[in-house]
Amino acid sequence: MGFEFRLTSILIQMPLVAACGILRNVKKDLILGESFTVEKPDLTGVRAEVAAYIEYLEGELEKNSRPKSSRSSGASTVSEPTEPETTVQVITISQNGMIKRTPRHLYARQKRAGMGVFELDLPEDDRPAKIIVADEQSELIALTNFARVYKIPVSDIHSGAVRAKGAPLADLYRRFGMHEKEHVVTYLAGSGNQIAILTEKGYAITRNKNFLKNGAILYDVNSIQPPMAACWSTGQDELFVGTKRGLAIRFSTKQVSSKGSSAIRIDAGDELLGIAAVEPDGGVLLVSDDGRGTIRLMEGFRPNKSPGGGGKVALKAENMVGMATADPADDIFIASGLSKMIRFNAGDIPAKTGAVQGVHLMSLRADEVSAVGIAKL
C-alpha cells in the first residue's frame, strides 16, 4: 500500500506541535511498511527556524526509512548510552540573559556531525551564548566589565530538563548589588593556581587565585581596559589567544607582567575571541560558526618568544566562534542559534598540526553555532 506525502508543503503551514504529530504518524506508517514520496517545495521566505525544523523532520523520515541494521551508522544517531547519573551540570546562558542548568547525564552522546537535540527554550529573538560545565556543589566565577569577581553557587542556578525554559540571570545578580552599568562578561568553572584575563583591546593580565574573593576588583579598568575573556592557568603553562578571523598567538604565561602585557596585535576588521591555557603537547578546540572545527595541536603551532605579536592562522575560518583547551577524553558541547545542542567525544575530531578548515562537528541547516563548552571527564 503506497501513497504520496508532501511533507514540507504541509509543515510550512502548521505549528511545530502539529508537525510533531505528523512525524509520529509517519513513524507509525513506516513501521507498517507504507512508502513515501517526499517532494520538497521552495522554502524561500519561510522563517529560518521553521525551515530548520522541517529539514530535521525530513532527516528523521530518512533515518527511520532505512533498514534497522543500518540505522546505527548515521552520524546523527546516539553512539553511546546515557552516562551514569552525575552531579555535573551543563549550564546554558542566553544572549538576552536567561540561564538554566541540566545534569550532564541527561545529554546522550552522539557521533560527531549529528544534528543535536533541542535545548534551552528561548524566544525567537534570543539564542544560547555560553555553555559552562560545572559540578552542582561548586561555584562559578563571574567576572564583570569592572574586573570585579562574583561567586555564584551552581546549586542556586535554575534547574530544568534538557528542553526547558531558563530563569533570568538578574535574579542571581540581585544579591550582589551590582552597579547599574556593570555586567558579567565571562564565567569560569573549575579551579587553577591563577586566572589569566584577556582585555577588550588585547592585553593579558594574570592574578593569583587568592585574589578571587567575592566582590574583589582584580585591577583598575580605567588604566588597563575592561576584561572580555578569562581562563584558569597553572602559571607554568602557555597562553593561546584567538581572534574571530581564526588567527592566534601562543606565548609563555610567565612573560605576562602583573600590570598587563599586550597579548596580540589585532588586524583591521578582526575581533578578539578568547584565551586558553595550553601545554606544549596539548591542543585547542577551534570552532567556526558554520559548524566546522578542529583540535589544533600545539606541536604544530610555534610559540612566540614574547606576547604582543601578530596572529598566525590557527583555523581557516571567516568567523571563529568558539575555542577551548581540549583533550581526547573530553566531551564537546556545541549549541546553535536555534537552541540545538550536541554532545560528542573530542576523540572523534581529527587533531591537526596545521591550519585547516576542519571537519563537520554539527549538522546545521539554516542555523549557525552560537556557543561551545568542554566537559572534563
Q: What pLDDT, on a 0 to 100 scale, did the predictor assign at position 42? A: 63
d(CA 144, CA 241): 20
d(CA 228, CA 237): 21
Reduced to 3 states (helix: H, G, I; strand: E, B; else coil), residue 47 is coil
pLDDT over 80 (residue 65): no
pTM (two decimals): 0.81
d(CA 292, CA 357): 7
C-alpha cell at 161: 530538563
Provide the residue type at 261 as one letter: S
C-alpha cell at 78: 546516539
Among 88, 161, 166, 170, smallest CA distance to 128 is for 166
Q: What is the mean pLDDT of residues 222-249?
A: 97
Q: What pLDDT, on a 0 to 100 scale, did the predictor assign at position 20? A: 52
Q: What is the mean pLDDT of residues 93-109?
A: 97
d(CA 352, CA 324): 15
d(CA 123, CA 68): 37
d(CA 206, CA 216): 15
Q: What is the pLDDT of residues 271-329, one digit of tens each?
A: 999 999 999 999 999 999 999 999 999 999 999 999 999 999 999 999 999 999 999 99
CA 334 to chain CA mean position, Å = 4
d(CA 286, CA 372): 9
d(CA 299, CA 279): 9
d(CA 244, CA 284): 15
d(CA 170, CA 195): 25
pLDDT over 60 (residue 24): no
Q: What is the pLDDT of residues 181-199, one digit of tens each?
A: 999 999 999 999 999 999 9
Domains of the chain: 7-71 (no CATH), 88-375 (2.120.10.90)
Entry field: residues in the chain: 377
Q: What pLDDT, on a 0 to 100 scale, did the predictor assign at position 12? A: 47
Q: What is the mean pLDDT of residues 143-171?
A: 97
pLDDT confidence tier of residue 25, bands split at 50, 70 and 90 = low
Sorted by sequence, the CB contacts under 8 Å of residue 331 that are 6+ apart come out as 109, 343, 344, 345, 346, 374, 375, 377
Q: What is the mean pLDDT of residues 335-351?
A: 97
Going from the C-alpha of 285 to that of each of 227, 298, 325, the distances in angstroms are 22, 11, 6
What share of the chain in percent tops pLDDT 70?
78
Q: What is the pLDDT of residues 111-121, one digit of tens each?
A: 999 999 999 99
